[in-house]
Amino acid sequence: MRKVLGASVLSITKLLSFDFVKLVIISLFIATPVAWYAMNKWLEGYTYRIDIGWPIFLMAGLLAVAIALATVSFQSVKAAIKNPVSGLRAE
Region class of 6: left (phi > 0), else alpha (psi between -120 and 50), else beta: left
- Give the pLDDT of residue 88: 61
* Residues shown for the chain: 91
- Give the pLDDT of residue 28: 92
CA distance 9 to 7: 7
User: Over the stretch 30-78, which tens digit does the pLDDT of each residue have?
Assistant: 999 999 999 988 988 888 878 888 888 899 999 999 998 888 888 777 7
Q: Residue 45: what are its φ and ψ, rounded to 5°?
A: -75, -5
